[in-house]
Amino acid sequence: MQSRWNNTDAAQAKTDLDLRAYSSRLIGADTALVLHGGGNTSVKSTHTDRFGEKLDIIWVKASGFDLASMGPEGFTALDLRRVLKLAGLESLSDADMVNEVLCARLDASAAAASIEAIVHALIPFKFVDHSHADAILTISNTPGGKERFAEIYGDRVLVLPYIKPGFDLAIQFRDVIANTDLSAYDAVISENHGVFTFDDDAFRSYEKMILVVDEAEAWLRNNYGRAEFTQTDAGDPVGVAAARKGVSDLAGGAVISRKSKSIPGSNVQRYGALLRKGTLTPEHVIHNKPYPAMLGDDPESGLAAFRSEYVGYFGRAEDADLTMLAPFPHWALFEDGRCRSFGPNLKRASISADVADTTLEAMYYADQIGDWQGLGEQDLRDLEYWELEQAKLKRQKPASELTGKIAVVSGAAAGIGQACAEVLFEKGAVVIGLDIDPSISETMSKPGYEGLVLDLTDEAAVANALAYVVDNYGGLDIVVSNAGIFRTGAKIETLGDEDWDAILAVNLSSHRKLIKQAVPFLRHGINPGIVVIGSRNVAAPGGGAAAYSVSKAGLTQLMRVAALELAPEGVTVNAVHPDAVFDTRLWTPEALATSAARYGLTIDEYKTRNLLKAEIKSRDVALAVCAFIDGTLPATTGAQLPVDGGNDRVI
């Protein structure tokens, strides 16, 4: 582990807090030190209040901020004397502790300080750095960890037995500090939990963290080498979709599944056994439950085994006040060595995948060393069902309708396709847009909102794109088959083969290819549905657009047959028939002006040439599409919904 300290950057800091924020970011930048909230920092300072009174205060990292990117705003100032007074109590429930620490804030609107605030306050140095460094925890969790620390550090590091974070940990530190001169140590290791370093100088506190972690890493590397695990593609994407469906059923709703690193298949059984002996650090139980599922050829039986083991684990708490969390695994090890995470949304699934990667690296060392000795079941369960964690869950916003769902939208670079992608994403779905227009890789380039450039008439390319979607997100629930082209005005007499063939290839045949390739995955989807974008021309064709009208009529018939064929699989298939949607690329200002003039209308009159005199937007079409797949119309399939402002030829 390398120090990231830079004197020029550090010199920019004007205050204690600026400097604290700077070195906190250095710690946050190293995922081997802190991963998704595992770690916190503080600085002690003074503050003159409104009445001119000088107070001793402590700035503690607040929850909800990321060490890697936060500035001074990520710290909450507390009245140090008041926090220290809490440590004088003999007992305090964790909920009361949280309330007392909230009351000690200098700013009533500041975010809650870390749960470890009292420990930070007790350590009698200006700067305190705390991490859950992988290497330290890996050594701590192998049998004889304490002796190994003695071998590595001699008497430079104080090792304390595990105590659950919260008030009990504060009491442990209070009693140790009362009898120990911490200045004799470079660090304090809290077994199975993490490491604290401290100094009156920000640089030295940070450097001690890097030094002790580097020594632990070097010890592991020199004795056992390094895990060289990488991600591999899913060999069988349909199997991935089936496993994700099974997990979603246990979770009681759609989950996203992310790829983690793979291990050699020959290690799976051994790692599986080690993984039953506790997580790397206690908070990992909150992200990933106490252990992963082990999945073989038939994921259903592996998931059923996980469920019954988890129900047993929960039941042994024998606490009627607790409510069991949904008994689904947050990650799974497949028998060929692949590993995937599962979470109720993309963020949670990604965190679980990162934690799984870190855990697998720890298992590499555990396997080499010969055993693993993480926290026991009761400690893990105490953490997983800790009142503070349960309260956090209760405060979570309810998920939006499509959270956890995975959607593909064809022709999503512009117009109706783009609007569908946007609305599905707003409603919580992961959305992958497919388009031949390369701009889609820029317009859709956020996590869970991704554009793939491909020719939708190329079935192999479509198959690859869907395999990519399943490999990266776990499955497929929604297909909005929208791709379409329009070429203006040729009567049948002059319509050339090239135009006819090109329009049918995109507007009709490409949809058959997409639906054909999607069915094996939709079969394992969660309330799966297909919506095709038809046209008013199906019911009310006009002269001069034979190829367009025929392609859309064919597409509608394809939708009807698909609805018949897929109903037994639970997949709904419906069509939306838009008309006069002018905020699309088909309608350039010139095309609009020409068409309006042809009818002797102004542009505004032309745009609202429907019974309701409504100006129809792409977004209106997208909302109609959503109604078929967001649970609004669960019992509807084979239906055709006009979005045209009312048309007397259609009605």
- SS3 of residue 58 by DSSP: strand
Buried b (16+ CB within 10 A) or exposed e, 322-350: eeebebbbbbbbbebbbbbbbbbbbebbb
Closest CB to Zn ion among residues 194, 417: 194
Nearest to 67 by CA among 117, 131, 121: 131
Closest CB to Zn ion among residues 194, 302: 194
Q: How far apart are CA 193 and CA 213, in angstroms?
A: 14
Q: Verify whether residue 548 is a known catalytic residue.
A: yes
Closest CB to Zn ion among residues 28, 194: 194
Which region, judged by CB under 5 A, interacts with Zn ion, from 187-195, 209-217, 298-306, 552-560?
Answer: 187-195
Separation in Å, CA 80 to CA 64, 263, 334: 22, 48, 50
Closest CB to Zn ion among residues 117, 360: 117
Catalytic position from the list 153, 313, 365, 548: 548
Q: For 287-334, give the DSSP string.
A: HH-SS-EEE-SSHHHHHHHHHHHHHHHHHTT--TT--PPP---SEEEE
- Residue 183 beta carbon to Zn ion: minimum distance, rounded to whole angstroms: 22
Contacts of 558 by beta carbon, 8 Å cutoff, 6+ apart: 508, 511, 512, 515, 532
- Residue 357 beta carbon to Zn ion: minimum distance, rounded to whole angstroms: 20
Q: How far apart are CA 161 and CA 284, in angstroms?
A: 18
- Residue 284 beta carbon to Zn ion: minimum distance, rounded to whole angstroms: 12
Q: How far apart are CA 452 and CA 57, in angstroms?
A: 52
Using only C-alpha atoms, what is the Rg of the chain? Answer: 30
**Share of the chain residues as helix, strand and coil, in percent rounded to the nearest 5:** 45, 15, 40
Mutual orientation of helices 237-251 and 299-315 as an angle, nearest 10°? 30
Size of the site for Zn ion (CB under 5 A): 1
Q: How far apart are CA 125 and CA 107, in angstroms?
A: 23
Which region, judged by CB under 5 A, interacts with Zn ion, from 44-52, 194-202, 386-394, 618-626?
Answer: 194-202
Tell whether residue 37 is a contact of Zn ion (CB under 5 A): no
In the range 578-607, which residues lie near Zn ion by CB under 5 A? none
Contacts of 50 by beta carbon, 8 Å cutoff, 6+ apart: none
- Residue 132 beta carbon to Zn ion: minimum distance, rounded to whole angstroms: 6
Closest CB to Zn ion among residues 64, 542: 64
Q: For 228-273, give the DSSP string.
A: -------S-HHHHHHHHHHHHHHHTS--EEEE-----GGGHHHHHH
Q: How far apart are CA 46 and CA 55, in angstroms?
A: 5
- Residue 21 beta carbon to Zn ion: minimum distance, rounded to whole angstroms: 19
- Residue 190 beta carbon to Zn ion: minimum distance, rounded to whole angstroms: 7
- SS3 of residue 52 by DSSP: coil
Which region, judged by CB under 5 A, interacts with Zn ion, from 191-199, 241-249, 561-569, 623-631?
Answer: 191-199
Longest CA–CA span in the chain (Å) reads 99
Closest CB to Zn ion among residues 194, 645: 194
Closest CB to Zn ion among residues 194, 578: 194
Q: How far apart are CA 2 and CA 4, in angstroms?
A: 6
In the range 256-285, which residues lie near Zn ion by CB under 5 A? none
Closest CB to Zn ion among residues 362, 408: 362
Cβ atoms of residues 404 and 473 within 8 Å: no
- Residue 575 beta carbon to Zn ion: minimum distance, rounded to whole angstroms: 54
- Residue 193 beta carbon to Zn ion: minimum distance, rounded to whole angstroms: 6
Mutual orientation of helices 415-426 and 618-629 as an angle, nearest 10°? 50
Residue nearest to Zn ion (CB): 194
CA atoms within 13 A on the CB side of 147: 3
Distance of CA 617 to the CA centre of its chain: 31
Cβ atoms of residues 262 and 279 within 8 Å: no
Query: Residue from 28, 37, 74, 194 that binds Zn ion (CB under 5 A)?
Result: 194
- Residue 300 beta carbon to Zn ion: minimum distance, rounded to whole angstroms: 37
Contacts of 637 by beta carbon, 8 Å cutoff, 6+ apart: 563, 566, 567, 572, 573, 574
Which region, judged by CB under 5 A, interacts with Zn ion, from 134-142, 189-197, 321-329, 438-446?
Answer: 189-197
Closest CB to Zn ion among residues 194, 528: 194
Please give the positions annotated as active site. Answer: 548
Positions that interact with Zn ion (CB under 5 A): 194
